[in-house]
Copies of this chain bind each other. A is one copy, B any other.
Amino acid sequence: CSFLLFFNDYISIAKAEDKNTYLSKRRSLLQEEWKITTGGGVVLNADELKVNSILMKWKAAEMSEAAKPKGFFPPAYNFMTVKAKIEESDVFRFIKKMPKGAALHIHDTSMASPHWLIRNVTYRPDCYMCIDKTGQLLFRLTKSQPVSSQCKWDTVNQYRSRSGNSSLFDAYLYGNLTIFTDHPAKAYRSQYEVWHQFGSAFQAVEGLVFNTEIFGAYFEQALTELYADNVQYVETRALLGPVVDLNGAVQTKDWAVTVYNEVQHKFSKQHPAFFGAKSIYITQRSKDLVSMMSDVKEAIRLREKFPDSVVGFDLVGMEDQGPTLEYFLDALLYPSQNGIKLPYFFHAGETDWEGMSVDANILDALLLNTSRIGHGYAIMKHPHIRKLLRERDIAIEVNPISNQVLMLVDDLRNHPAAPLMAEGFPLVISSDDPAMWGSTGISHDFYEAFMGLGGAWANLATLKKLASDSIRYSATGQTEKAALYKLWQKAWDVFIKDMLRQHWP
């Protein structure tokens, strides 16, 4: 009869065994668990083992302190409220110095510190600002004072001097160029509210950055900060303007790509330990199918013209607001249907929702043959897709702090990348928009991953795997990849020696 299926015998006796047999079984289970985690397959050499013991002494001290009844565990709290605490950590300082390989998910207009923009751009006599009716700050660099019936333009310097307090005024600018706040829970009551400020900050930043006078210098500053953070290579999600000059003349995207390429070339030459930068063409998802088709074609054209610099295509913007990848199917199938290569690096599944149209973006990313997935926050709720992604070795770009400050999750121990790391799913750690929340480079995100996502057992092997996988999953050609890996390995070996010299008794 039908409910025979439901019978079960709960009173089976555990096989009698002595404690030693039990404990040896237990040890081998723990070893099997470790083996499948991110880094579980990495064999450390003698020097690395010593450095690992230094690192793990620090980590154990910090974690056991945090686990006490009145303990404090930074990954459990909004990054903007614990940044200073994180920076006091020995583990963080170690990670900061460590060569981390590639930053594979980082947006070109939120890579460099807003303080740099404030100091180097807003004090220019040709930098104008206005505040529109909604309170949105707009900036423009121009030879002649802009005029508008909607918004009263003045130089930033005029605003600043009228304010009577330059440093307060600059702090006000900082607040408007970022989503940073000491009280995120009060400032943002929903994901929509924080995304609203996020969009508003981007609009302000773009007014400063998308000018021929600044565009290249801002990118150089971004590379400077990544290099100082011990990152060897970067693939930016790049809007590529529209950049204007001081007369308001709009530059082509070709111009923007050329500038990025010249800057990264010069920077790598000046800093031989830096490998370079490539761009992934991005466009806003909030548009119609016809515009999306133009973007796809523009991306194809640029990739063909700059095969070494433009490596793929992606859509950006709040996924929950849509539209979905499926909505743009005609445009996104266009390259493959016409035998044209256009690698995809889709943001997909950056959502808490399950079974809604938005989290199916992960499925479409897979079907559209994406090279990597940005965020993939929803992936644990799609085990079948996850299995297929893994079979195809498609990495997830994990940006823990971004997901936290944009309010997908509070305590990072509940972030889906914790189970992903536990099962050794291909992934890389990046920082999405570090400048937007007061971070720099990718070290803070590495710290969160190491402490909050990888669990207590994540060690130097884990970090080494994360760094080397960032190269493995980069959109570099075979020869480039070998050269990048060599460059990173060299930096790694120096780092290990340095750590030994400084901290080995």
Q: Is A22 an interface residue (CB 8 A)?
A: yes
CB distance from A233 to the nearest CB of B (A): 13
Question: A residues 456-505 with Cβ under 8 Å of B?
Answer: 456-458, 468, 471-473, 475, 478, 481-482, 485-486, 489
Interface size on A, residues (CB 8 A): 98
26 example contacts (A-B, Cβ-Cβ < 8 A) are as follows A3-B485, A3-B486, A6-B468, A7-B481, A8-B472, A8-B481, A9-B478, A13-B341, A14-B333, A17-B333, A19-B333, A26-B367, A29-B384, A30-B360, A32-B384, A33-B385, A69-B190, A354-B422, A354-B457, A359-B455, A380-B422, A381-B422, A383-B419, A383-B422, A410-B410, A419-B419
Cβ of A12: which chain B residues have Cβ within 8 Å of it? 369
- Mark out the residues of chain A between 345 and 370 whose CB falls within 8 Å of any chain B CB in the assembled complex: 352-356, 359-360, 363-364, 366-369
CB of B456 within 8 A of CB of A353, answer yes
How many copies of the polypeptide does the oligomer hold? 2
Q: Does A93 contact B (CB under 8 A)?
A: no
Note all chain B residues with C-beta closer than 8 A to A301: none
- Within the assembled complex, what's the spacing in Å between the Cα atoms of A413 and B11? 35
Q: Which of B16, B333, B456 contacts A336 (CB 8 A)?
A: B16
Residue of B with least CB distance to A369: B14
Partner of A352 from the list B10, B339, B353, B414 (CB cut-off 8 Å) is B414
Q: A7-B478, A26-B364, A371-B10 are in contact. Are A336 and B15 (CB under 8 A)?
A: yes
A371 nearest in chain B by CB position: B10
The reply to whether B367 and A22 form a contact with Cβ atoms under 8 Å apart is yes
Cβ contacts under 8 Å, A354 to chain B? 413, 418, 422, 454-457
Residues of B within 8 A of A368 (CB): 14
Question: B residues within 8 A CB of A408?
Answer: 414
Partner of A11, one of B7, B10, B320, B341: B341
